[in-house]
Amino acid sequence: MAAESAHKPALLEVASALREVHRALVQATRRGYERVNGPAGGPGQMLKLLTEDPYFAWLHPMSELIVDLDSLLTQELLPSGTVAAVRMEIDRLTQAGDSPFWVKYGPLLQAEPGVVMAHGRLRRAMNALPEAKAGLHERKQWVAPRVHAKRNSRS
């Protein structure tokens, strides 16, 4: 476990870079939303859009990965294989494929300079993490269960 924890500074850098990518994606997606629907409003309204509006739903896998990674980073000792598993999860999300996330991410990666720059920083940060290999932890093994507040259905 100590060997995994030696990668914590690199993992912190990856988490920071992943949040930067997310921020750039939110900004780009917000601009698209506002072209179609008008102003998105202030921070409270934007948070509501991010969590509830279908226009922003494609961002949820990255948002959830950030939450899971932040939760992992609160652990003093990281279980063996977790760091490479994090790299694998980020690769799975941010590399070409046919996922609903990639369908939106790929074009933004080609068209939005902020997304391109943030993606480049993420890739550089990930180079400090060990490569994926056999025996990795599945994501469900390194994430803490999420507790969601039950929403009041009255409006």
Low-confidence ranges of the chain (pLDDT < 50): 145, 147-151, 153-155
Per-residue pLDDT at 153: 47
Q: What is the CA radius of gyration of the chain?
A: 17
Per-residue pLDDT at 27: 97
Q: What is the pLDDT of residue 148?
A: 47
Question: Hey, where are the domains in the chain?
Answer: 2-142
C-alpha 66/C-alpha 35 separation (Å) is 28
3-state secondary structure of 94: helix
Q: Which residues of 38-47 are buried (b: 16+ CB within 10 A; e: fewer)?
A: eebeeeeebe
pLDDT in the model for residue 36: 95
pLDDT digits (tens, 9 = 90+) for 91-104: 999 988 888 999 99
Residue 154: the pLDDT is 46
Instruction: Write down the pLDDT at residue 143.
Output: 58
Angle, helices 60-73 vs 8-37, to 10°: value is 150
